[in-house]
Structure 1
Amino acid sequence: MAVDRHWLVMEGAGPRARYRSRLAGAGRHLPPTHLSTRDLMASTRHNTHIDLERLIGIRDRRVSTGDEDSCSLATAAAVDCLDRAGQDAAGLDVVINCSITKFRDGLTQWMEPTMSAAVARAIGAEHAMTFDLSNACAGMLTGATVLNNWIRQGTVQRGLVVSGEYISQLGQNAARHIRSIMSKELACLTLGDAGAALLFERAPADSAAGISLAGFTTIADHSRLCLAYPKGDDPGARMFTDSRGIQRAAIAATPYLLHEVLDAAGISIGDIDHVITHQTSARAIRKGMAALTESFGGGPRHDAVITVDRYGNTASTTHTVALVEELEAGRIRAGETIALIALASGLEIGVVLLTLDEELVNRYGHRD
């Protein structure tokens, strides 16, 4: 497919880059409490007759029972990330928080002081610049793109992108109102809680590992397909989603955008080893990958990573939760190309091409 129109704002290593952004660590934190889809559906106020597990392919998710919130989830993931990387928080130049939910002390949404500052203080990053960035479920990859640019330009040497999503309360609220499969709150029942963190640091411009290209666009025509806001007496918020509309829009637009990224990177779909897309439902991921394969006349070397069946949709943290899962399982090898694909309400679509080195892969206990 020839791309004759530029849709994406793209940034890569490029010949003018002074440095490259190397992924030095990835961490996650999952609450210990499991909530099965069967138990969640048993809690609905109305008898819906919906076989949700068969419909979306999610059998389990992790949820906070109120003892952990957005800030504590992000902080725990940041600690995990730094421990895995063998680095100290005192060496961080910047901490970027990218969560949708900013709950602290229960379901109190804190905008100021920022959650990035709270996380930095909790982990001991006393000298780090901090700021919050929110871009729906594309938040962490957007934060990684911003940090990538700063590292490439020589502005900072090392930074942490974090997120904590205490978002399962949307599912608890939805369970009180859903009556049928046509409910616009059905997508809330896919959600789970998690914290995630990515550590990037400066590497030589000719380094083989790191972010090679990142591209993002917003298709604002679809901005009203998913809206969340406080309503009635329910705690926190409620979310209303046209799931089929978002899926149709994403499937239609993503091939064009991925073509543009691959053309700019000078590679083909067959050069991608692993695809980690936003984890909405197992069924949606498989349908989307089938559409990509049809558009490109082939697919990546491995099937798309699916972790949503065990953890649910953990919003902005899903890519990192899945990346850590693949690293721990030894399914990603040094030198392989990973395409992280963001599909977020807005409609925000982004692609980050990333290569890992042996030092990082070996830290997860797997050596070639």
Structure 2
Amino acid sequence: MVRTRIEAVGAYLPATEVSTAELLAQLAVDSPIDLERVSGVRHRRRCAPDEDSFSVAAAAARSALDNSRYDAADLDVIISCSITRIRDGEFTVEPSFALMLRNELGAADAIHFDVSNACAGMLSGVLVLDRMIRAGIVKRGLVVSGEYITPIADTAVREMSEKYDPQFASLTVGDGAAAVVLDGDGTPDEGIDYIELNTSAAFAQLCLGMPSDRSSGIALYTDNRAMHNEQRYLLWTTRQQDFLKSRNSTFADECYDYVIHHQFSAPAVELINKIAEREFDATVPPGPAVLERYGNTASTSHFVVLHDALKQQRITSGAKVLMVPAASGVVAGFLSVTLGDLQV
């Protein structure tokens, strides 16, 4: 049977850095929550005036191809997963980002389409491409996302007037991009073990991105107290327990080396891991993170972490990595992948 593998990883983070202290200093609120303490975000990156969702996505795609044995012309498919589709100052719906990236990269023969699933976007793109490869539809492809999402922080800075404001979570985001090349050359010792996603619409109204109801900017409205609680966190553990049981396995049996959570809140991730250890009756492995340095980079976060950990040599060949999404919708699930010799 064909087994999909991650053949290459790339990422791009803008050079401009904004500290949490600098951001909070712009607020009109007299006594804002200690954002650094409750989120774990100390800095985030911000696109330069000549950068946007498209340019950073293209940079990440080139980074992945630089680390790949494939050229752009070898790609059978390009899947773009950005939440923010901003190019040249406009939010672009048509033509698709995937088409524009295909043309930019020179992947003339690649089929192309966008996948949108909030902060689970890239994991959704990987799921779709994995299924396409295993079905024999394509041999290899690129999943990419570029996020110029800090405009929601700009809106929050202008509009927040209360300590517990629904735009509070907007202050944790950072710009960035990531890309992965997948092919069907996996082996028993390298490849995607499984990937499953599930959506619970019961939580759908708790985190909404839309035009601001007070200005011309884009905004994110989040009910943090209702969004981040045990009931929501159990969506992951319950689904994975059921999945592993169907395979006559357990969390401990899987022998994960690392777990990468969506980068949204360090204290929340600590709570999720405690709940997971209780539910799985097993130790949760170490979790590489970039939240303190880069903030929440939305749909790109898992692969920004993976790229950073590979670059720092904190994750090496042969590691079994579990990725756990947490996205508006609400999307939960898991991706298990055993890594080969990835160069970054």
| TM-score, length of structure 2 as denominator length | 0.95
For 2:147, the equivalent position in structure 1 comes to 165
Secondary structure in 1 aligned to 2:228?
Answer: helix
SS in 2 for 1:197: strand
Answer yes or no: is the 8 Å Cα contact 1:212–1:265 preserved in 2: no
Corresponding residue number in structure 2 for 1:33: 16
Task: Specify which of 239, 242, 254 is matched with residue 223 of structure 2.
Answer: 242
Task: Quote the Cα distance in structure 1 between the aligned partners of 2:190 and 2:146.
Answer: 27
Structure 2 unaligned segments of length 5 or more: list them.
none
Inter-partner Cα distance in structure 2 for 1:197 and 1:230 = 28
Match of 1:274 in 2: 258
Aligned to 1:194: 176
Tell me by how many angstroms 1:232 deviates.
4.7
**SS at 2:10's partner residue?**
strand
Aligned twin of 2:280: 296
Q: Which residue of structure 1 lines up, in the alignment, with residue 307 of structure 2? A: 324
Mapping of residues 1-368 of structure 1, within 5 Å: 18-106=1-89, 108-203=90-185, 206-232=187-213, 234-248=215-229, 249-270=231-252, 271-300=255-284, 302-357=285-340, 359-360=341-342, 363-364=343-344
% identity of equivalent residues: 38
Distance 1:326 1:33 in 2: 21
Aligned length: 341
Q: Distance in 2 between matches of 1:109 and 1:265?
A: 44
Q: Distance in 1 between matches of 2:30 and 2:47?
A: 25
CA distance in 2, matches of 1:147, 1:50: 41
Inter-CA distance 233–179: structure 2 relative to 1 (3 Å threshold): closer
Deviation at 1:264, TM superposition (A): 4.1
Equivalent-residue separation in structure 1 for 2:216 and 2:62 (angstroms): 30
TM-score (structure 1 length as normaliser): 0.89
Deviates more, 1:321-330 or 1:63-72: 63-72
Q: CA RMSD, aligned part only?
A: 1.5
Tell me if structure 1 keeps the 8 A contact 2:244–2:250. yes
Give the secondary-structure state (helix, strand or coil) at the position aligned to 2:3: strand
Cα distance change of structure 1 residues 264 and 194 upon mapping to structure 2, 3 Å threshold: farther
Structure 1 regions of 5+ residues with no counterpart? 1-17
How many angstroms apart in 1 are the aligned matches of 2:310 and 2:281?
Answer: 29
CA separation in 2, counterparts of 1:235 and 1:201? 42
